[in-house]
Structure 1
Amino acid sequence: MARSGVRKEVPTAEGTTSLATRAEEAADTADGHARPGGGRNDGGRSGGDRSGARRGTARRPRRRRVLRWSATVLSVVILGTAGAGYLYYQHLNDNLQTGRRSSGDSKAEKPQPNAAGQTPLNILLIGSDSRNTARNLELGGSRSSVGSKPLADVQMLVHLSADRESASVVSVPRDTRVDIPACTDPETGETYPATNRIINESLARGGAGCTLAAWENLTGVYIDHWMMIDFAGVVSMADAVGGVEVCVRQNVWDRPLPGVPGGSGLKLEAGRSTVQGKQALQWLRTRHAFFSDVGRATAQHMYMNSMIRTLKQQNAFTDTGRLMNLAETATRALKVSEEIGTVNQLYDLAMQLRTVPTNRITMTTMPTDTDPQNANHLVPAGADAEQIWSMVRDDVAFDKNGKPSAERPGSADEGGRKASGDPAADDAEIGVLVRNATGSAAAGAVGGRASTLATALVEKGFTQAAADTTGGPSTERTVVRYPSAELEGDARRVAEALGIPSGWVRKSTDVTGVTLVVGDDWRSGTTYPRQSAPRAGDVPESAGALNGSDRGSCMDVYAPYRW
């Protein structure tokens, strides 16, 4: 009866799970004897011939018995009474703050499963500069910012491949000018029109859901979830991990200089150092001493890679005590999109990320150019930026040992074809509206594109094609949209006629008929430019790729900030 009490089940989002079972599995895994399927690991003595037990050949090691007993006792301590496990689970859930996944106008669609039924997972990490608590104000920034809406100073997309064998991370510098879509703040109901501003302002125009929508419009990538953390959260997480190793090639002191205010306060001697608490926050916020926002992103990647290696070395995912401490800290530090707003769902995410070896994790920064409108800002660097996003969309590993996942229905293919349950009408019967959406942040609009391509379609037999003269927001990527299933075949026929890959035929509720939206990737000609499929490891040099197993990376320090 006592054992039955120990196995009290704890409610989760997907049913129930036995905390005692999880603790015992953790103990067995830590001992190097994982039990396949969670089954009893008793050396074959749970049925059939038990002679092996008598001979002693399958005898359980004493250490295993001790670990198993310890796990059971730990479960008793955690559960205490029949309801204590539930109360602790509720306590962790109550720590979490949640928000709407998207609060902006976005056209990105979920990718279709590959042949094995798997889909990639995309998570947007946001670092807020909020100073609206005493602790956050103490840790950085000016009192004049108190009461202001926070900005998203750190933004990274974590892409976990469909097969869960590799992970790619892409940062976008905070001062990158992009098209931010129309957003509605879910907390206040305030609406914000579409604009072309630096991306860190998106957080103040509708919360993390607006930042997610801006990313989806920039990249064409469907983003499943977001997670946000502020200054105080970074410090508490750094303390919970117990320190992360970083490296600088010269002594660094990121401080105010004549004519250059600000600075994180980071002060380290050349070589390797372990940072935690406030010093970890200083490392992550250092900008001027690392030359720019791009340099800061590289330093953040170094920190994240080192933290992942540290957690793996600590067996943080199998050591129950460590896991509970991290869970307590993380649930207090993070705000997450509501669909992952329980401890169980966060745990499942962590377990998926845990399976990726460090040498299959690649950190990058979206390639950028100087903004022609403002020398202090950046814009996406055309082909190099598109190469990065194409690899994420097509689920191609960033590391050189990766390989494209099995082709998913709807992914780009050589002929631009995809089977559709809706047969296309005759070309002459298909109505097509052509919209000129060139002119995104990186370049000006190309005049006459809608008319040019409408004429080309008419010449190909699509006699009902016409240019849209009403205009609309610009976009990086050309896409053919259709409003309902009965027009899918027509949309695919238009794409085929122009050489547009089938992956860019999308259902959309904001069009009333087949609509060709001509983006910045097609600024001339009447046949869509043929693009070779990206291969594993084809990351542009300008993305500054850093592999998770690289322990030799070290930051250069801008000369004025050396001491």
Structure 2
Amino acid sequence: MREEGTRQRGPHTGGSGRDREPHEVGAPRVPGARRAPEAEQDAPDGDGPPAESGSRRHGQRGRARRGRRRIGRWVAVSVSVLILGTAGAGYAYYAHLNGNIRKGERSSADSDVRRAAPNAAGQVPLNILLIGSDSRNSEANLELGGSKESVGAKPLADVQMLLHVSADRRNASVVSVPRDTKVDIPRCTDPGSGEEYAATRGLINTTLGRGGPGCTLATWQELTGVYVDHWLMVDFAGVVAMADAIGGAEVCVKDNVHDGPKPGVPGGSGLRLEKGTWPVQGEQALQWLRTRHAFESDIGRSKAQHMYMNSVIRKLKDQNAFTDTGHLMDLAETATESLTVSREIGTVSKLFDLGMTLKDVPTDRIAMLTMPRVPDPANPAAHVLPAPGEADRLWEMLREDLPLDGKPGAEKPAPAATASEDPAAAPADIGVMVRNGTGAGGAAVRGRAAAVAAALDGRGFTGARTDRTPEAERRTQVLFPSADLEGDARAIAAALDVPGSAVRTSTEVSGVTLIVGADWRTGDTFPKADPVSGPPENTETVMGDDEGACMDIYAPYRF
């Protein structure tokens, strides 16, 4: 009787081993050892036909198995070719999309603005500058607006918006700066030609012609103190193509509107709509985004642009465009042909990752607004300036990653402490010079440096002294010249509630120096933005979930 799990073997045939499994040659049979599947299938079980018959059957089955194996190999080869061919086509298409993308340098100027420190969860906010160029230096762009006389002229950045996505990706905001805002423009170098442009004070839309989008980005950093990670730029033709790819978006006007030329006011976008809500795409979408006179001003135009962007975001979410592969491919093809981007995001995968950052932000946590501003005294009819105090507070909220929708939301992880290898000295042993820089953008507050020095003295920093070096800074800063004084500088900032982001190294000072900026005109401690009070006044905020938003029409452009 066989043991359970063993096979019955025939007589030994002189050591050939033909009666054994291949692995048994020269080794004793181990009861219960597993046999190879084919041997187990064809071996006689004691009740079957004679060995000769079994051999014939084994041969027939062997030939059948070899045939099946050949067929299997052909199938495997075919599938492999298909997979490799598909992968090759996929790679070729990916390479094609990457080849579409036009790229440029992230920044055209030196800057001391640094990225925000990560929070306790290791997250950092994302800031992207969106630029709309008015360039007519192509046939397609010329057909969509402008005159032949404008061909060859340096482009203007007539649309500028900063997209800020919070570190935890729970809220987002878009802040526009009017094109005719007078700002300090840093020294920029054109990365293509190498031409250098001296620092100046001028309109922010001219920055595109002074070193490309990288100069526009550098100017934004100078203005806001916010580190801008990337820029994306689109021209007239690109706007039309993107609007068509998205399938248009709904906009609303409270009256019939025609933005055409008027006596004494030439030009106009050509937008013509009847009262109500309408889907616009293609060239009509461009007209909507360019309309200025019928919306009364550049401020009205910014508001209309925000309405359009919110409508687009809602539509993309409704269409599941962030997860619909086919739709994504269509958008990818158009986007890569329409956009120029900063070099570090110049691949399809990186642009896709950027797009995904908005996927999970609820529309009711997306705030779009325009910078608070005041008329420029030198040209009040045409130019504006950032509103002292209000604009400063807005920039601080962006720097500190505070939501602009006025909602507290879930509690954010606290920022990770910035480690300093240099421990602070005792307060009485720290020397600090205090300068009055409150005159940036307006009249300086007299005696401000002395008042802050006295506040430090009252906190034990008896080495605080005033410094009469002329300064005019929009933002308060604590500067130190070398690493061995960083701890002292941070101690000064902490004593006055100055944000850690304001502490930085500088070769322009010889010791710890506190410059009291225009953002801190009163009080003994730095004014902190209220995280739940919402954006400053005078910002024309449009929320992402406001489907009833509708544009007022300036009376002369109604019909």
TM-score of the aligned structures, taking structure 1 as reference length: 0.79
2:542 corresponds to 1:546: yes
Q: How far off its partner does 1:280 sit?
A: 0.5
Partner of 1:478: 476
Shifted more, 207-216 versus 477-486: the winner is: 477-486
Task: Give the conservation status (yes or no) of the 8 Å contact 1:98–1:341.
Answer: yes
Q: SS at 1:216's partner residue?
A: helix
* Structure 2 residue 467 is the aligned partner of structure 1 residue 467: yes
The letter of the residue matching 1:391 is M
Q: Distance in 1 between matches of 2:530 and 2:455?
A: 29
Classify the secondary structure of the residue corresponding to 2:358.
helix
Taking the aligned partners of 1:448 and 1:261, their CA distance within structure 2 comes to: 50
Deviations 1:319-378 (A, max 9, x none): 222111100100111111111111000011111211112122111111111111111111
> Which position in structure 2 is the counterpart of 1:226?
231
Aligned to 1:274: 279
Q: Distance in 2 between matches of 1:114 and 1:316?
A: 30
For residue 289 of structure 2, the aligned residue among 284, 289, 292 is 284
How many residues align structurally?
A: 477
- 1:396-545 alignment runs, 5 A limit: 396-403=402-409, 405-409=412-416, 420-425=420-425, 430=430, 432-440=432-440, 442-445=441-444, 463=463, 465=465, 467=467, 469=469, 471=470, 474-496=472-494, 498=496, 500-508=498-506, 511=509, 513-523=511-521, 527-528=524-525, 530-545=526-541
Q: Which runs of 5+ in 2 are unaligned?
A: 1-80
User: Which of 176, 200, 217 lines up with 1:212 in the alignment?
Assistant: 217
Asked whether 1:89 is paired with 2:88, we answer no
| Aligned alpha-carbon RMSD (Å) | 2.7
- For 1:463 and 1:350, the matched residues in 2 are separated by 51
Aligned residues of 1:217 and 1:475 also touching (Cα < 8 A) = no
Whole-angstrom CA distance in 1 between matches of 2:270 and 2:214 = 31
1:387 equivalent to 2:385? Answer no
Structure 1 residue 242 displacement after superposition: 1.2
Distance in 2, matches of 1:313 and 1:255, equals 34
Q: Structure 2: how far apart are the matches of 1:252 and 1:299?
A: 13
Larger Rg: 2
Match of 1:377 in 2: 383
User: Cα gap change, 1:533/1:384 in structure 2, threshold over 3 Å: closer, same or farther?
Assistant: closer
Cα deviation for residue 447 of structure 1 reads: 6.9
Matched, 1:560 2:556: yes
SS of alignment partner, residue 536 of structure 1: coil
Tell me the secondary structure at the aligned position of residue 383 of structure 2: strand
1:312 — aligned with what? 317
1:516 to 1:549, Cα distance in 2 relative to 1, 3 A: same
Paired residue secondary structure (1:245): strand
User: Which of 142, 147, 152 is 1:142 aligned to?
Assistant: 147
C-alpha separation in 2, matches of 1:339 and 1:514: 35
> Do residues 180 (structure 1) and 185 (structure 2) align?
yes
Q: Tell me: CA distance 1:510–1:152, structure 2 relative to 1, closer, same or farther (3 Å).
A: farther
Contact kept, 8 Å, 2:488 with 2:512, in 1: the verdict is yes
State the distance in 2 between where 1:450 and 1:194 align.
28
- Conservation of the 8 A alpha-carbon contact between 2:520 and 2:527: no
Q: Classify 1:229/1:395 alpha carbon distance in 2 versus 1 (closer, same or farther; 3 Å).
A: same
Q: Is the 8 A contact 1:108 1:216 kept in 2?
A: yes
Match of 2:119 among 109, 114, 130: 114
Instruction: Tell me if structure 2 keeps the 8 A contact 1:402–1:536.
Output: yes
The alpha-carbon distance between structure 1 residues 98 and 433, as it changes in their structure 2 partners (threshold 3 A), is: farther
Q: Deviations over 1:412-466 (max 9, x none)?
A: xxxxxx76431123567655455554443x3145677668867987997665856
Moved more, 398-407 or 113-122: 398-407
Q: 1:452 to 1:361 in 2, by over 3 A?
A: closer
Give the partner amino acid of 2:274.
E
Q: Does the 8 Å CA contact 2:430/2:461 hold for their aligned counterparts?
A: no
Letter in structure 2 aligned against 1:443: G
**1:169 alignment partner in structure 2:** 174
Letter matched to residue 397 of structure 2: M
Structure 1 residues 181 and 447: alpha-carbon distance in aligned structure 2, compared to 1, 3 A threshold:
farther
What's the counterpart of residue 74 of structure 2?
none
Q: Deviations over 1:26-77 (max 9, x none)?
A: xxxxxxxxxxxxxxxxxxxxxxxxxxxxxxxxxxxxxxxxxxxxxxxxxx99
* Structure 1 CA distance for aligned equivalents of residues 448 and 533 of structure 2: 34
Shift in alpha-carbon separation, 1:174–1:77, aligned structure 2, 3 A: farther
CA distance in 2, matches of 1:288, 1:445: 37
- Matching residue's letter, 1:518: V
Change (3 A) 1:476 1:267: same
**CA pair 206-447 structure 1, distance change in 2 beyond 3 A:** farther
Q: Which runs of 5+ in 1 are unaligned?
A: 1-75, 411-417
Relative to structure 1, the CA distance from residue 360 to residue 79 in structure 2 (aligned partners, 3 Å threshold; closer, same or farther) is farther
TM-fit CA distance, 1:207: 1.2
**Is the partner of 1:232 in helix, strand or coil?**
helix
**Hey, what's the Cα distance between the residues in 2 that align with 1:363 and 1:456?**
38
Distance (Å, rounded) in 2 between the aligned partners of 1:439 and 1:518: 10
**Using the alignment, how far apart are the partners of 2:431 and 2:264 within structure 1?**
60
Contact 2:134-2:235 within 8 A present in 1 as well: yes
Asked if structure 2 preserves the Cα contact closer than 8 Å seen for 1:458 and 1:465, the reply is no
Compare 380-389 and 419-428 and name the one that shifted more: 419-428
The verdict on how the C-alpha distance between 1:78 and 1:192 changes in structure 2, with shifts beyond 3 A counting, is farther
Cα distance 1:185–1:446, how it changes in 2: closer, same or farther (>3 A)? farther
Letter in 2 for 1:481: L
Contact 2:242–2:334, Cα closer than 8 Å, also in 1: yes
Quickly say closer, same or farther: Cα 1:522–1:359, change in 2 above 3 A.
closer
Which of 319, 340, 346 does residue 345 from structure 2 map onto?
Answer: 340
Give the CA deviation at 1:96: 0.6
8 Å CA contact 2:434–2:464 kept in 1: the answer is no
In structure 2, the partner of 1:44 is: none
Alignment of 1:100-111 (within 5 A): 100-111=105-116
The answer to whether the Cα contact below 8 Å between 2:493 and 2:499 also exists between their aligned partners in 1 is yes
Equivalent pair of 1:397/1:537 in contact (CA under 8 Å): no
CA apart distance, 1:390:
2.0
| Offset, 1:141 | 1.6
